[in-house]
Amino acid sequence: MTDPHSADSPIEPDADRHQPADAGAQPPTDGTAPGSPASTDSRLGPNVDDVRRLLAWGALAICSLLVVVAVIQFYGSVTDAIDLWIDSRHQPIAQAAFNLVVVLLSLIGISALLRELSE
């Protein structure tokens, strides 16, 4: 019998055996290096970005609850202070200005959190 890898053999040697095993593999598209733990097995655990996003959603829920309670109490206190310190004919203007400030600060906080969550 002749050696299939000899020079006079009409059969060409297998071209794939001279290439590394991962030569045809596509590089990962998630920015990780080939062969790194994150690119080899995605079942190891949640992605860091996913954990960060979940923590941001949790922080948003907790902050929202705290803000609702604090705003209710603060609103009552400021209303009492306006009634005490400001003349009755100027109270509606002071109440409107205070409510506008509360709404604007709330919108700034919500937009900052939503911007963080949308990244």
CA 95, distance to chain mean position in Å, is: 37
Half-sphere CA count of 19, side-chain side, radius 13 A: 8
Rounded to an integer, the average pLDDT of 33-51 is 65
> What was the pLDDT predicted at 102?
83
> What was the pLDDT predicted at 29?
59
Residue-wise over 85-115: b if at least 16 C-beta within 10 A, else e?
A: eeeeeeeeebbeebeeeeeeeeeeeeeebee
Of 28 and 118, the one with more pLDDT: 118
> What was the pLDDT predicted at 90?
92
> What was the pLDDT predicted at 48?
86
Residue-wise over 18-34: b if at least 16 C-beta within 10 A, else e?
A: eeeeeeeeeeeeeeeee
Q: At what angle do helices 48-85 and 91-118 cross, to 10 degrees?
A: 180
Q: Do residues 26 and 33 lie in contact, with contact meaning Cβ atoms separated by under 8 Å? A: no
- For residue 12, with 0-12 CB atoms within 10 Å meaning exposed, 13-18 middle and 19 or more buried, which class applies? exposed
The pLDDT tens digits of the residues spanning 48-90 come to 888 888 999 898 899 889 978 987 898 889 889 998 999 999 9
Rounded to an integer, the average pLDDT of 86-109 is 90
pLDDT band of 99, cuts 50, 70, 90:
confident
